[in-house]
Amino acid sequence: MQYLLLIYDDEKRWTNMTEADMQKGMSAYNAFGEEFAGKIKAGNALQPTHTATTVRTRDGKRLTTDGPYAETKEALGGYYLIDANDLDEAIVIASKIPGALTGAIEVRPIMTFD
């Protein structure tokens, strides 16, 4: 079964890091990627929330707003799409994402249609 692991963290933490801390963080993500290479189907980091555009359609008109849908302390910063045997395995994998140490990982099963 496929699961989307959504990584939420405080963006300011990353912008205030030293170069050495940034390298250490990236090394941790690289190690995670190597450990679960057979399970990870896709994954990306996202640009900061100030680069986002929110789109709505109301009464046939497109409305756009700069920024994310909602302002929160923890923002969606990236994701992994994984194959896991079940929710328990997906949770184990999610717990090993480095962002789980300072933020939160949301585990969502992918809906399949016949």
Least confident of 8-12, 17-21, 65-69, 87-91: 65-69
Question: Measuring CA to CA, how many Å separate 64 from each of 58, 59, 92?
Answer: 11, 14, 38
Mean pLDDT of 37-51: 94
Question: Does pLDDT of 19 surpass 80?
Answer: yes
pLDDT of residue 67: 78
Cβ-contact 54, 70 below 8 angstroms: no
Question: Does pLDDT of 7 surpass 70?
Answer: yes
Residue percentage of the chain with pLDDT more than 90: 78
Cα–Cα dist 67/89, whole Å: 34
Helix (H, G, I), strand (E, B) or coil at 34: helix
Least confident of 2-11, 57-66, 68-77: 68-77
Residues whose CB falls within 8 Å of the CB of residue 26, separated by 6 or more in sequence, listed in order: none
Closest CA to 71 of 57, 54, 46: 54
Cα–Cα dist 67/46, whole Å: 13
pTM (2 decimals)? 0.88
